[in-house]
Amino acid sequence: MSATALLAVAAGGGASAATAATPNAGDEHSPSIAAKERKGNFDARTPSARTSFARAAKVVGKDTAAAEKFRDSLGAQGIVGIDENTGTPSQVTKLNGFLTAASSKKATQVALDYIKAHPEVFKLTDSDLGTLKLRKDYVDDLGTHHISWVQVVGGLEVFGNGVKANVTKDGKLISVQGAPVAGLAGLAKARTAAAKLTAAAARSAATEDVGGTAKSATAKSAGATTTWSNGDWAKEVWFHTADGLRKGWSTYTNAGGSLIYTHVVDAQTGALLYRRDLSSNAGTGVGDALVQDNYPGAPLGGKQRTENLIYNKWLPKGAKTLLEGTSVAAWADVNDDNQPNAGETVKAPGTPGASEYKLVPFQSNPLCSATFVCTWDPAKPDSWKTNMNQDVTNGFYLASNFHDWLAKPPISFTKAAGSFDADGGDPVLLNSLDGAATAANGGPDANHVNNANMNTPPDGTPPTMQMYLFGSAGDNTTVPTSSSNAADILYHEYTHGLSNRLVVDATGNSTLNSIQAGSMGEAWSDFYALDYLVSHNLEKDTTAPGELLEGKYVTGGGTIRTQANDCRVKAKATACVGIDGSQGGYTYGDFPTIGGTPEVHSSGEVWAQTLWDLRERFGRSYALSIITRAMELSAADPTMLDMRNAIVQADLVASGGKNAKIIWQVFANRGMGWYAGVLDGGDANPVEDFHIPPTGATTTITGKVTDSDTKAPVAGALVFIGGHASGYAGDYSAVTKADGSYAIDNVFPGTYGKFVVSGAGYEILGNALKVKAGGTTANFAPRRNWAAASGGGAVVDFNGPDFSPQCGPSYAIDSSQGTGWGSTTGDDAGTPSGVMIPKHIDIKLPSAVTVSKFSVDPSNTCGDPGSSATGRYRIETSADGTTWATAQEGEFTAANRGKYTELTPSAATTNVQYVRFWMLSPQVPDFATNCPTGAFGGCQFTDMTELQVFGSK
């Protein structure tokens, strides 16, 4: 999933929202919107947020009595999450207390002493601790030290893994995170071979992976890092997966337009190990600029006024030819090459006699008015030139102003925390009017309207903010303007920089990767933008619900969300009605349906509304403090429940936990209570709950897992409660013994939303479980999945290309919906095609069976967009792998993505030892019209995620 800009749909109260020009992977738009889909995120360590349960089972199965005793010592609100790849903690913390007492030692020593004292959990030797190199130790405005160490061996850093720790100002340890690699030195010795790929080859591979090209630029090497004159870089690193340690090239590439990504490419094979989409998508004299604080025509802050850019120290004295300031460099990137070319730059505004630049209104469509001023005419594409200077200058002002605002308490997004500053080497590169001249007629093409985005690379590399024009000829639902004139949109984009710089791994890479984390990213952006406008009396917020509308300007009084940000649960207001007609603000169970299907902008609305609840309950200052500090305390790739926990911990630091019950009540009211269930950050179907944490005695869950047909015990199955640890291994988890029995202790009674059972070669069960006081017995009988590789199924044939190790054919039967089989639509080279060449995969079952059901997840995979999911399909069976008969055929739609669809075979069910699955088409709407040159990724790739075969011998 890629986290693109600002898109969502409109709710009542105004015109419909603009359609995004850069859709999220997994989404496509009507053929009239010729916006290109883009590749999403990929991580070979956890191919998606849904990590293999089998890996977790191995980790839990190796648990020692000492480790269990340690977990119990933290109490019922303790959290020990174990990384499935490294076997070391991804998080150790408590929600209702600290890990250590106050100490006068240095904060770094407090953390290291704790790690040394508990080898039964952290599993780090003195040699491992010797690989730690301090990367950052900064102090927030509550006095908390946020510390991170990277691991280094042989002069190369480990990508992503390391140690993070958070220590209060009086020396109490809040948490330890990071999943460091144990035995690193030994693992590195087995990988001493020099890289086969050069830095330049890795850069080229990265850009080609996302459909771009490496720009011609001069290279300069220093140590393990090569940098190019256009800002690209490649750094040799270690990359750890469940299969071991590899050498790789970590790259940052600008492949043109908004194709700005980080990758890790295997240094030996060139294989893709990691991909992250960095674009998140919604006195007179020299220096005197005419700016507005809200949007042109707004009742408050809608009139241009004079602001001196030099007096405010946003521009240096003597600035003349370029708006290149202390935290922002701005120009009109009308050709979208991300460079300030001749004719695209704006001179510093102001003359000895007047302020510059006055906005010239347009009357482009019926929405244009004194209250919603239009700034160009889409029917006259070059008309954007009229206000170019004003547009760029206003964007520069808003971004510079917001930089300073975020740096102040209670947010305190400072340089030490990762803010964007010229003297830190990473000012915001603000491309106003981005792509305004990319169409043949001199106007913007469909990829450069009705959107905005900001990419956020790690600290020290400048981000690029791309602000597009809104409106198109014949569209009377959108105000023709520029997003640089819309404060809420620009502040939304800028806040992506805040969240992506604060929720990071030990090496500083953002971990807002999954749909849950990405949804919070969009929600934070709406929340901080609207908070600024309200706190400066630029937007009204009374006790009445339904007043705060993100995107009000560009929609002519509506919103680009489905509801207003201040809709309380059960609130009655026109702007608090969902697209299904339901009244009132959202709760956690609405996550997948807010916008019709799971999507980061719409799904994030429940989080944005919850944050506003906190603001209303505690007041702006305290709410902003604990919300921001929680980002710094967060687990990697958090779910909304993980971030709820982090906010509870932030209050523990700020007030000693005095407000914990109120905070829990706020979240419980939104369905994020104690018993809420979610598997991980990639789970788009959470189960809501409305209870605060219980008190009193805990109990034990016991039971057996047996085969549904044979009744034989299923040994080695992972059993866990979803939503109560930052991973599958650790708290609230167990592995079945030889007789199929298991036990999970220290559990509060109550009904848990997701109780998961996953055994090798079996279907995954995940339903609610009621735990009773005094102990609960819960037995499970999963069906045998005869196709599962973990149970003996094997791929014996396929056609099309082999994209192993990332998304080869074997991933179709790996029992994980986080991975899948990716293939091409046309030829093996992936040439965009208007003709489908059917692709098949043949699976040999471990025994001949009578098939009762097939179960298929046809979803797109490996970062391909939604239209790459399988559409038409056919399933054939065979006794010998030679003679085949059709057992089932049909067509999947977008409604089938992200879940299993069970299919009853209509024929050829007996004596089946081979199953063939055919992908006959992708889910490209109107395939013949939209391919091969259309905007849909399915013209190039066709995928499916998982095939299950149920039956009996």
Which range has the top average pLDDT, 214-223, 653-662, 724-733?
653-662
H/E segment holding residue 527: helix 515-535
The pLDDT tens digits of the residues spanning 341-377 come to: 999 999 999 887 799 999 999 999 999 999 999 999 9
Burial of 733 (0-12, 13-18, 19+ CB in 10 A): buried
Domain count for the chain, please give it.
2
Q: What SS3 string covers 860-919?
A: CCCCCCHHHEECEEEEEEECCCCCCEEEEEEECCHHHCCCCEEECCCCCCCCEEEEEEEE
* pLDDT at site 37: 63
pLDDT at 936 over 80: yes
Answer whether residue 829 is part of any domain.
yes
Over residues 882-921, the pLDDT tens digits come to 999 999 999 999 999 988 999 999 999 999 999 999 999 9
- pLDDT of the residue at 861: 86
Give the tens place of pLDDT for each residue, 185-222. 999 998 888 889 999 999 999 999 888 888 889 999 99
Report whether pLDDT(24) > 60: no
Q: What confidence score (pLDDT) does residue 442 get?
A: 86
Distance of alpha carbon 345 from the chain centroid = 33
Distance CA 55, CA 181 (A): 16
Q: Which residue, 798, 797, 783, 791, is CA-closest to 813?
A: 791
Question: What does the pLDDT average to over 318-344?
Answer: 91
User: Given this model, what pLDDT does residue 10 score?
Assistant: 27
Q: Decide if pLDDT at 339 tops 60.
A: yes
pLDDT score of 320: 74
The sign of the dihedral angle between the CA atoms of 392, 394, 395, 399 is: positive
pLDDT band at 18 (very low <50, low <70, confident <90, very high): very low
* pLDDT recorded at residue 31: 25
Average pLDDT rounded to a whole number, residues 175-192 = 93
Tell me what the mean pLDDT of segment 379-391 comes to: 95
Lowest-confidence pick of 50-64, 505-519, 621-635: 50-64
pLDDT score recorded for residue 951: 96
- Binned at pLDDT 50, 70 and 90, residue 47 comes out as low
Q: Nearest CA to 807 among 267, 49, 44?
A: 44
3-class secondary structure per residue, 282-309: CCCCCCEEEECCCCCCCCCCCCCEEEEC
pLDDT at 41 over 90: no
Give residue 49's pLDDT band: very low, low, confident or very high (50, 70, 90). Answer: very low
State yes or no: pLDDT of 30 exceeds 80: no
Domain assignment present for 175: no
Closest to 780 (Cα-Cα) out of 701, 860, 897: 701
Write down the pLDDT at residue 53: 75
Residue 205, pLDDT score: 93
Instruction: Compute the residue count for the chain.
Output: 953
Residue 463 included in any domain: yes
Angle at 566 between CA 562 and CA 569, to 5 degrees: 85
User: Positive or negative, the Cα torsion across 642, 644, 650, 655?
Assistant: negative
* Residue 638 Ramachandran class (φ > 0 left, ψ -120 to 50 alpha, else beta): beta
pTM: 0.90
- Is 60 exceeded by the pLDDT of residue 487? yes
pLDDT at 286: 67
Q: Is the C-alpha dihedral spanning 852, 858, 862, 868 positive or negative?
A: positive
Q: Is residue 921 part of a domain?
A: yes
Burial of 56 (0-12, 13-18, 19+ CB in 10 A): buried
Q: Which two tokens stand for residue 434?
A: 């981005």
Is 60 exceeded by the pLDDT of residue 36? no
| Residue 42 in this model has a pLDDT that exceeds 90 | no
The DSSP element (H or E) to which 650 belongs, if any, is: helix 640-655
Q: Which of 24-38, 49-63, 413-427, 511-525 has the lowest mean pLDDT?
A: 24-38
Q: Please state, in angstroms and as integers, the Cα–Cα distance from residue 393 to each residue in 337, 350, 373, 694, 708, following that order.
A: 20, 11, 17, 54, 68
Asked whether residue 8 carries a pLDDT value surpassing 90, the answer given is no
Work out the mean pLDDT of the chain and round it to a whole number.
Answer: 91
Instruction: Give 118's Cβ-side CA count (13 Å radius).
Output: 23
- Among 449, 476, 502, give the residue marking a domain's end: 502
Integer angstrom CA distances of residue 693 from 73, 186, 661:
18, 44, 9
Q: Are 286 and 502 in contact (CB under 8 A)?
A: no
Average pLDDT of the residues in 131-158: 97
* Domain annotation covers residue 303: yes
Sign of CA dihedral 638, 642, 646, 649: negative
Of the pLDDT bands very low, low, confident and very high (cuts 50, 70, 90), residue 495 is very high
Q: Give the amino acid at 774.
A: G
User: Which CATH number does the domain housing residue 404 bear?
Assistant: 3.10.170.10
The two structure tokens encoding residue 6: 């600002």
Q: At 9, is the secondary structure helix, strand, or coil? A: coil
Q: What pLDDT score was predicted for residue 285?
A: 55
Q: Does the pLDDT of residue 72 top 50, yes or no? A: yes
Residue 724 lies in a domain: no
- Mean pLDDT over 778-802 rounds to 95
Please say which residue of 480, 502, 524 terminates a domain: 502
pLDDT of residue 768: 95
Please name which of 847, 843, 841 lies closest in space to residue 910, comparing C-alpha atoms: 847
pLDDT at 44: 84
In-domain check, residue 112: no
Q: Does 822 reside within a domain? A: yes
Print the domain residue range for 802.
789-952
Report how far residue 403's alpha carbon sits from residue 396's, in angstroms, rounded to the nearest whole number: 11
How many separate helices (H) and strands (E) can be counted in the chain?
16, 40
Of the pLDDT bands very low, low, confident and very high (cuts 50, 70, 90), residue 662 is very high
Report the first-to-last Cα separation within the chain, whole angstroms. Answer: 40
Q: Which amino acid belongs to residue 33?
A: I
pLDDT at residue 856 in the model:
97
**462: confidence class by pLDDT, cuts 50, 70, 90:** very high
Specify the residue for token string 């040999």: 844
* Over residues 304-310, mean pLDDT: 94
CATH number of the CATH domain containing 857: 2.60.120.260
894 HSE (CA, 13 A, CB side): 15
Token duo for residue 268: 């030996």
Q: What pLDDT does 17 receive?
A: 24
pLDDT band at 681 (very low <50, low <70, confident <90, very high): confident
Q: Name residues whose C-beta falls within 8 Å of residue 208's C-beta, 6 or more positions apart in sequence.
A: 214
Residues 730-784 pLDDT 10s: 778 999 999 999 999 999 999 999 999 999 899 989 899 999 999 999 999 999 9
pLDDT of residue 647: 98
Which of 502, 528, 549 terminates a domain? The answer is: 502
Tokens of 530: 């609207």
Amino acid at 101: A
Q: What is the pLDDT of residues 814-843, one digit of tens each?
A: 887 777 899 999 999 889 889 999 999 999
User: With 50 as the cut, is the pLDDT of residue 29 above it?
Assistant: no
As a whole number, mean pLDDT of residues 530-554 equals 97
pLDDT in tens, 270-294: 999 999 998 877 544 568 999 999 9
Residue 280's nearest CA partner among 611, 24, 565 is 24
